[in-house]
């Protein structure tokens, strides 16, 4: 049927008329016709073959660079190095393949939400059929525990309640009835006469007529949005992709220029090719992808200690760029534990301290702690009524939890805080029904029978004649009580009224006529309170330049109260509801999203739209969610954050990370870790690329200077195998320890870095330029100083030693640069050299391997080196130092001029 029809607005009669159906159901013949027209009731999924998904991983500029490196190395005959590079390529492709497979399963997880079988009326008979055979117009039978197989317009109900948390975010079961509502553009959470596919009935019974199946249901609509949503690349991945595209072009141009120049200078084709190939190998950062992957994996381990489980590695870095957090309310900003905060009785209002289901807290009157038992009888009886007229229970295992309705659980805890714990024998009960708006129990107490009643204040007041004040029964002050109930409601508290009545001791049942002339006891106002640590986390995120936006399915009054208590949208007066969003175009929402921080009563598509419009504003958006309704927004966000405790499988599969404790404060801690990891990634990139630039400049300078220095006609300063070893093992021993650098203070005291800032910026050009020039100068100088005497007469051993000395110089430049690269801005002399033991171990390992390569004969053969005289080392060290000195000067100048 048409998606434009708002079924909740239609009467039952009009619904059946449009569907051409009736309460007796459809005939088999009619069902067959409709199956052909509408198709089976199942969400369609587009499958991608595993082979195609694996091959897709190679469609990446960084992979192109590595493949080029492998081809060049193969042409040079270094098969061991080819195997190493290809190993990196396959490892990266495998990681991407696994991650993409997990992302695709977010859509397929919706299949688990579909119902295999259901009960319907067919040919006027009750039958059980596969849910995929449902068609619009079918009559579905509902009872407690039933999972709803399609979107239904309810036409018959008896105390019918549905749990829609997975779809709407509504934390409490929603009453369902057959009454139509005239209001337009209602969010699913407010459509009381419609039951939605994938949700389930918690109590009562009823019948509904199918109005939408398969992709036309609310669940199908979510699946459609997810299929159309492409996951966003993280800022670092975008930068690396752009950088590698530029790098490929630069490498090809320089290699071609180098080849042409060598050939023009009179070198043979083979020599020219070898020099150009060596240049390409020198500039390509073979070890960088592996180091970045290990850095992010290290971040994953650290995040886990912060209750944040990372599902996709790049999201670790993306956290550091976050500018907006779009958060759910229930369970994330709040405790997801209803708590009584105020009790009104006997013309007094008591405050109740303590939050959650732990039965610890005090009662306060006029901000002073009091003992409940010393107050009037009405306080004890109000709390006692909440405890006795109650079907929930409080249990303790590792923690306190409620079995049953959260609202009733809050009443139990409120009574326990006043040391009221005994329940009397129950003789009879009138269960709560939405049409009655109350619950009543008949209990035996001290040889007399008492009826306790709880329900909506309006209903309770209508049934009361008197009220209990200071232990005396007086005429009820209805207006005053109503005013107090309104005051509590305006503070976004859920309010229940309580009353009682004594009946004869031989009465064992509650009769309808008993529900009058009751004695009013009091009111209890409750709320799902904010988490205590969240307010501080929001303030920290604000100082860090991160805005918090609350998007909830709850009512606007509740959303307003919670947002004000947490300081969300401070200074903003506007709260936009889902109904208002439905009337706005995407352009209007785009103009609004940066001004509004609280959205209430939203539908699934609203959260997705808010997310995408914020991204169009240039924001890096983190989105939290736990239900099926959140999955499209989680997938579209830069960082999708699912709840580990309350989250559905669909939301977890669509997310980049999972909060093990469902706590907003953990997100802010994770952002701090993300910034820390990003800073270390920057250090790794600046270190690695400066090293590659220096090696490339050595080869290029050799060719340019060769007409003036005959030494270059014999050999290059560095052999290709030496360059490959430096690129791969230098990354392991020297670049990798940078990821273990201690966290620098004040990471949340500055705004997020501009995600548009490219890797190649002023900072990059300065550091890479300085180190590259220093490395080329040092290595070429050492090569010339020790190699020139070998030309007269020709002394191949001396030239080989000069080449080995140049190789050692490059390694030492790397070591000295590592010492200063531990901080991008602060001097190496401002922190302890022993604060990162991994740097010490890395330097020790690289120097030990250098000595073995030069002085251990089997390795000399592999790396084409030879032993060098010990008296050469002081000069080698001297020519390796300029890189360190110049970077320290650059830091001092940068700080003085305050530019980065």
Q: What is the pLDDT of residues 25-82, one digit of tens each?
A: 999 999 999 999 998 887 655 555 677 767 776 766 656 666 776 776 677 665 665 6
- Cβ 289 vs Cβ 296: under 8 Å: no
- pLDDT tens for each residue of 557-584: 778 888 888 889 766 667 898 889 988 9
Tell me what pLDDT residue 78 has. 59
Phi-psi region of 519 (alpha: psi -120 to 50; beta: other; left: phi over 0): beta
**Beta-ladder partners of 309:** 658
Mean pLDDT within 122-128: 89
Instruction: Choose between 235 and 415: higher pLDDT.
Output: 415
Of 226-240, 607-621, 713-727, 816-830, the range with the lowest mean pLDDT is 226-240
Cα separation, 215 vs 199, in Å, equals: 16
- Residue 196, SS3? coil
Instruction: Choose between 626 and 613: higher pLDDT.
Output: 613
Tell me what pLDDT residue 46 has. 52
Tell me what pLDDT residue 153 has. 95
**Beta-ladder partners of 703:** none
Tell me what pLDDT residue 111 has. 46
Cα separation, 842 vs 279, in Å, equals: 26
- Cβ 197 vs Cβ 245: under 8 Å: no
Tell me what pLDDT residue 223 has. 65
Cα–Cα distances in angstroms (integers) from residue 261 to residues 26, 155, 255, in the given order: 84, 85, 10
Instruction: Choose between 828 and 238: higher pLDDT.
Output: 828
Tell me which range, 325-329, 743-747, 867-871, is most confidently predicted by mean pLDDT. Answer: 867-871
Cα separation, 543 vs 545, in Å, equals: 5
Whole-model pTM?
0.65
State the virtual CA torsion across 277, 278, 283, 289 in degrees, nearest 10: 80
Taking CA 794 as the corner, what is the angle to CA 790 and CA 797, rounded to the nearest 5 degrees? 60
- Cβ 337 vs Cβ 399: under 8 Å: no
Cα separation, 176 vs 158, in Å, equals: 9
Q: At what angle do helices 720-730 and 79-108 cross, to 10 degrees?
A: 40
Does residue 137 surpass a pLDDT of 50? yes
- Cβ 558 vs Cβ 173: under 8 Å: no
Instruction: Choose between 275 and 261: higher pLDDT.
Output: 261
Cα separation, 438 vs 859, in Å, equals: 87
Does residue 114 surpass a pLDDT of 70? no
Task: Quote the tokens at residue 510.
Answer: 């509650």
Tell me what pLDDT residue 289 has. 67
Does residue 11 surpass a pLDDT of 70? yes
Cα separation, 192 vs 552, in Å, equals: 18
Q: Which helix (H) or strand (E) holds 396?
A: strand 393-396
Tell me what pLDDT residue 112 has. 47
Task: Quote the tokens at residue 255.
Answer: 């290699």
Mean pLDDT within 116-127: 87
Listed in sequence order, the residues at least 6 apart from 649 whose beta carbon sits closer than 8 Å to its beta carbon are 109, 112
- Cβ 744 vs Cβ 303: under 8 Å: no
Mean pLDDT within 403-426: 90
10 Å CB burial of residue 326 (0-12, 13-18, 19+) is buried
Cα separation, 50 vs 57, in Å, equals: 11
- Cβ 730 vs Cβ 815: under 8 Å: no
Mean pLDDT within 471-493: 90
Q: What is the mean pLDDT of the chain?
A: 82
Tell me what pLDDT residue 686 has. 84
The pairs formed by 94-101 with CB atoms below 8 angstroms and a separation of 24 or more are 94/57, 95/293, 95/313, 96/57, 97/50, 97/53, 97/54, 97/57, 99/311, 99/312, 99/313, 100/53, 100/56, 100/57, 101/50, 101/53
Instruction: Choose between 280 and 545: higher pLDDT.
Output: 545
Of 789, 784, 812, 788, which Cα lies nearest the Cα of 873?
812
Pairing type for strands 657-659 and 639-643 reads parallel
Tell me what pLDDT residue 479 has. 94
Tell me what pLDDT residue 1 has. 44
Does residue 271 surpass a pLDDT of 50? yes
- pLDDT tens for each residue of 830-845: 888 889 999 999 999 9
Active site residues: 328
Does residue 706 surpass a pLDDT of 50? yes
- pLDDT tens for each residue of 464-481: 999 999 889 999 999 999
Does residue 653 surpass a pLDDT of 70? no
Of 59-63, 106-110, 723-727, 755-759, the range with the lowest mean pLDDT is 106-110
- Cβ 502 vs Cβ 518: under 8 Å: no
Tell me which range, 128-132, 460-464, 746-750, 772-776, is most confidently predicted by mean pLDDT. Answer: 460-464
Of 65-74, 215-224, 778-787, the range with the lowest mean pLDDT is 65-74
Of 882, 619, 678, 662, which Cα lies nearest the Cα of 774?
882
Of 735, 705, 698, which Cα lies nearest the Cα of 720?
698
Cα separation, 171 vs 624, in Å, equals: 16
Cα separation, 319 vs 674, in Å, equals: 5
Which residue bears the tokens 């709407």?
Answer: 168
Cα separation, 773 vs 525, in Å, equals: 72
């Amino acid at each position: 049927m048409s998606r434009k029809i708002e079924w909740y607005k239609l009467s039952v009669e009009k619904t059946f008329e449009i569907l051409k159906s009736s309460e007796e159901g459809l005939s088999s013949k009619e069902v067959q016709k409709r199956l052909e027209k509408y198709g089976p009731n199942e969400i369609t999924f587009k499958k991608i073959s595993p082979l195609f998904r694996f091959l897709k991983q190679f469609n990446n500029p960084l992979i192109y660079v590595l493949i080029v490196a492998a081809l060049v190395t193969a042409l040079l005959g270094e098969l061991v190095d080819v195997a190493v590079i290809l190993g990196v390529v396959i490892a990266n492709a495998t990681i991407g393949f696994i991650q993409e497979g997990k992302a695709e399963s977010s859509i397929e997880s919706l299949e688990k939400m579909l119902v295999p079988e259901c009960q319907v009326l067919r040919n006027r008979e009750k039958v059980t059929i596969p849910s995929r055979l449902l068609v619009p117009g079918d009559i579905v039978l509902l009872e407690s525990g039933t999972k709803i197989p399609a979107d239904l317009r309810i036409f018959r109900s008896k105390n019918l309640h549905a749990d829609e948390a997975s779809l709407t975010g509504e934390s409490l079961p929603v009453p369902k009835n057959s009454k139509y509502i005239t209001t337009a553009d209602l969010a699913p959470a407010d459509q009381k006469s419609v039951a939605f596919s994938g949700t389930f009935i918690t109590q009562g019974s009823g019948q509904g007529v199918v109005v939408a199946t398969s992709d036309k249901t609310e669940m199908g609509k979510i699946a459609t949005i997810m299929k159309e949503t492409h996951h966003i690349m993280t800022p670092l991945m975008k930068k690396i992709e752009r950088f590698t595209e530029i790098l490929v072009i630069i490498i090809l141009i320089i290699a071609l220029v180098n080849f042409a120049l060598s050939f023009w200078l009179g070198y043979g084709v083979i020599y020219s090719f070898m020099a150009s190939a060596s240049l390409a190998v020198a500039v390509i950062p073979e070890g960088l992808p592996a180091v970045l992957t290990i850095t992010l994996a290290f971040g994953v381990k650290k995040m886990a200690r912060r209750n944040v489980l990372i599902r996709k590695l790049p999201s670790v870095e993306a956290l550091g760029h976050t500018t907006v957090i779009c958060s759910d309310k229930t369970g994330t900003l709040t405790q997801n534990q209803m708590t009584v905060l105020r009790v009104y009785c006997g013309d007094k209002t008591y405050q109740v301290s303590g939050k959650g289901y732990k039965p610890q807290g005090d009662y306060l009157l006029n901000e002073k702690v009091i003992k409940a038992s010393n107050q009037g009888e009405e306080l004890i009886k109000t709390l006692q009524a909440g405890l006795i007229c109650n079907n929930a229970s409080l249990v303790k295992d590792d923690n306190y939890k409620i079995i049953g309705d959260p609202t009733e659980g809050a009443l139990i805890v409120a009574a326990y805080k006043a040391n009221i714990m005994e329940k009397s024998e129950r003789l009879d009960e009138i269960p709560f029904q939405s049409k009655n708006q109350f619950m009543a129990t008949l209990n035996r107490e001290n040889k007399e029978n008492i009826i306790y009643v709880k329900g909506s204040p309006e209903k309770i007041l209508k049934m009361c004649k008197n009220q209990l004040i200071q232990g005396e029964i007086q005429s009820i002050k209805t207006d005053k009580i109503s005013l107090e109930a309104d005051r509590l409601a305006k503070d976004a508290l859920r309010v229940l009224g309580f009353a009682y009545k004594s009946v004869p001791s031989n009465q064992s049942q509650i009769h309808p006529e008993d529900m009058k002339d009751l004695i009013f006891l009091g009111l209890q106002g409750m709320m799902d309170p904010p988490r205590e640590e969240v307010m501080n986390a929001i303030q920290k995120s604000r100082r860090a330049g991160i805005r918090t936006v609350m998007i909830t399915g709850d009512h606007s009054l509740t959303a307003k109260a919670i947002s004000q208590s947490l300081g969300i949208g401070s200074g903003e007066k506007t709260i936009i509801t889902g109904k208002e969003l439905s009337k706005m175009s995407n352009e209007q929402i785009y103009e609004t999203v940066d001004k509004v921080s609280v959205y209430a009563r939203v539908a699934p598509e609203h959260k997705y739209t808010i997310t995408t419009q914020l991204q169009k504003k240039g924001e890096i958006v983190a989105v939290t969610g736990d239900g099926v309704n959140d999955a499209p927004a989680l997938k579209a966000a830069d960082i999708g954050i699912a709840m580990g405790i309350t989250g559905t499988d669909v939301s977890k599969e669509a997310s980049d990370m999972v909060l093990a404790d469902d706590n907003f404060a953990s997100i802010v801690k994770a952002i701090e870790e993300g910034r820390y990891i990003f800073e270390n990634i920057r250090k790794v990139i600046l270190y690695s690329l400066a090293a590659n630039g220096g090696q490339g400049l050595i080869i290029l300078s050799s060719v340019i200077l060769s007409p003036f220095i005959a030494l270059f006609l014999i050999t290059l300063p560095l052999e290709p195998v030496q360059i490959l070893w430096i690129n791969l093992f230098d990354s392991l021993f020297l670049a990798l320890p940078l990821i273990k650098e201690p966290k620098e203070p004040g990471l949340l005291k500055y705004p997020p870095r501009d995600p548009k800032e490219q890797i190649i910026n002023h900072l990059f050009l300065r550091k890479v330029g300085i180190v590259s020039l220093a490395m080329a100068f040092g290595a070429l100088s050492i090569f010339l100083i020790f190699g020139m005497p070998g030309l007269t007469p020709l002394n191949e051993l001396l030239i080989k030693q000069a080449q080995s000395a140049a190789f050692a110089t490059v390694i030492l430049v790397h070591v000295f640069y590592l010492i200063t690269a531990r901080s991008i801005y602060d001097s190496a002399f401002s922190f302890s050299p022993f604060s990162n033991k991994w740097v010490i171990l890395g330097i020790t390992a690289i120097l030990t391997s250098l000595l073995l390569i030069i002085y251990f004969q089997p390795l000399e053969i592999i790396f084409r080196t030879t032993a060098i005289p010990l008296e050469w080392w002081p000069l080698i060290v001297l020519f390796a130092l300029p890189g360190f000195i110049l970077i320290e000067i650059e830091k001092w100048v940068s700080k003085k001029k305050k530019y980065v």
